[in-house]
Chains A and B, each alone.
Chain A
Amino acid sequence: MSFLDACLYSLTGMLVVFFALVLLMCIIKIMTAIGDRAEKKAAPVPAAPSSGIAAPDTRAAVQSLSMTAPLAPGTAGEVKLYDTDPRTAAMLMAIVADELKLPLNELRFLSIKEIKEDK
């Protein structure tokens, strides 16, 4: 094989690699666009937290929110804290994520409230 032929094969090879990966890039972008649109359609407006005591089945509530609410962009969202310091809230969110085996950025916490038991 002459050096010129080798150059042509190399050029073709690089073009094939680029073509395949650019094709994949386009497919991923299309997949993302379709996914985002479907999620927007499916996501109902999350209900505001009731002013009373927090729901007893927190695990189920969080799980259902993680399935329906749009994903927070890399954060846990804007969490409203009632009688809870940020350090405790961060700890609670980490525990919930660990228990559910879900990444923290796939969960959306609306509010965290300390329930004071009557003595």
Chain B
Amino acid sequence: MSILETLGRLGQTSGFYMLAFNWRQLVMIVIACVLLYLGLVKKFEPLLLVGIAFGMLLTNLPGSEMYHPELWDAYIAGNLRLTDIIHDGGLLDILYIGVKSGLYPSLIFMGVGAMTDFGPLLANPKSLLLGAAAQLGIFAAFLMAIGIFGFAPNVAASIGIIGGADGPTAIWLTSKLAPDYLAPIAIAAYSYMALIPLIQPPVMKLLTTEEERKIKMEQLRPVSKKQKILFPIVVTIFVCLLLPSVAPLLGCLMLGNLFKESGLTDRLSDTAQNALMNIVTIFLSTSVGATAVADRFLSPRTLFIIVLGLIAFEFATVGGLLLGKLMCKLSGGKINPLIGSAGVSAVPMAARVSQTVGAKANPSNFLLMHAMGPNVAGVIGSAVAAGFLLAVFGG
């Protein structure tokens, strides 16, 4: 074999050669670079978006063979076992096992639990109603996905969960109901979460009056340590008995919170919210990004998902605000309706938005702690909604 033949063969096996015959992968590489720009330069949820974008880049480099969607199709169809995927798959296939099994989202929830203070929720239990109302976005987007865009119910449920404004919950549900749509749904969920300060304020101003936004709320009552310790145990028992499908997510959230509140497991709490969470975030983001293979991602359906995701966020905000207004009326003007918009989850970004909009109407208004109640209630609410959708469409 001559040197020219060797070089020619080497050229034919290179990614550049393969890229010349597959414009779709080239487009995906450009999209990955745009997402990297948004994460690194514009700082849109960089901890997640950078990993997702890089996973997308790796999976679309021709010849890299890091992720094989056809193996997962065969696994879902029952023609392959997990051991076959470990044997024949690439690095990202192996990392993806954690997504498919629901391991990563649950572990991330453990970290979220270890970082969450449920004190404001315990001090004002009515916050839970606002967290429930803000789940309107999930079901509004679900309805539109079926009624207008003609998605299958399982896919519509996965699209709807974007309205829960909770990345791990969206990934957990989608990996079980519609794994082919995991990448666009995860990207939409995290992008809109980063854009909450832009998405919510116009709706908040539209639905509330200046007088309502100026309402100052009374200081929250103190919550005892005992109550904070009992809360995760009680929630786990009652909610998981009511909706067993939500146990992995909610159980991990509450376990993380118990680590934090018990005061006896500081090392575990520290690990859950730092080291473990960081490691799992790396695995989760890159393997979710890897599912964005050109042939599946580049379709009009991805655009529909992006549009529906935005609608879901807006409806979630509307749901929380409308109930907030009702509670304001019923309480004789003691509740500022702006805290309702924080029920969309997206902790703590949505609560900060309530604080910012409230402070603009009345600079001496401090709504942050009041908004944290609906905010953490939204996490529980979206997990319950995800459990319901899995129980109904996971069949």
Contacts and interface: CB of A to CB of B under 8 A. Distances in A.
Nearest to A26: B125
A21 B128 CA distance: 6
Contacts of A35: 224, 226-227
Question: By CB atoms of chain B within 10 A, which of A7, A10, A22, A35 has the most?
Answer: A10
Given A20-B242, A25-B129, A6 B156 contact: yes
Interface in A15-43: 16-25, 27-29, 31-32, 35, 39
B142 interface: yes
B138 A7 contact: no
Nearest to A9: B392
Given A22-B128, A24-B235, A74-B222, A32 B139 contact: no
Interface string B116-144: 00000110011011011001101110110
A31 B227 contact: yes
B253 interface: no
B303 to A, nearest CB: 21
B126 A74 contact: no
Given A6-B153, A21-B381, A32 B132 contact: no
B220 A74 contact: yes
Nearest to B142: A10
Q: Give the secondary structure class of A's interface.
A: helix
Given A21-B128, A22-B129, A14 B238 contact: no
B377 A21 contact: yes
Contact of B138 (A1, A13, A27): A13
A102 to B, nearest CB: 9
Interface string B147-162: 1000001001000000
A74 B147 CA distance: 50
A29 to B, nearest CB: 6
A29 B227 CA distance: 11
Interface residues of A, number: 34
Contacts of A11: 139
Interface stretch (B32-40, B174-182, B200-208, B383-391): B383-391
B221 interface: yes
B222 A71 contact: yes
B219 interface: yes
Given A71-B224, A74-B222, A105-B222, A24 B388 contact: no
A32 B231 CA distance: 10
B253 to A, nearest CB: 13
B344 interface: no
A71 B228 CA distance: 15
A48 to B, nearest CB: 24
Nearest to B389: A13
Contacts of B226: 35
B328 interface: no
A31 B385 CA distance: 25
A106 B226 CA distance: 13
Given A6-B147, A9-B153, 9 more contacts: A1-B146, A6-B153, A20-B381, A21-B129, A21-B381, A28-B121, A31-B227, A32-B125, A106-B222
Ranked 6 nearest A-B pairs via Cβ: A10-B139, A28-B125, A21-B132, A21-B128, A6-B146, A25-B125
15 contacts: A3-B143, A6-B146, A9-B142, A13-B135, A17-B135, A17-B384, A17-B385, A20-B243, A21-B128, A23-B238, A24-B235, A24-B239, A25-B128, A32-B227, A106-B225
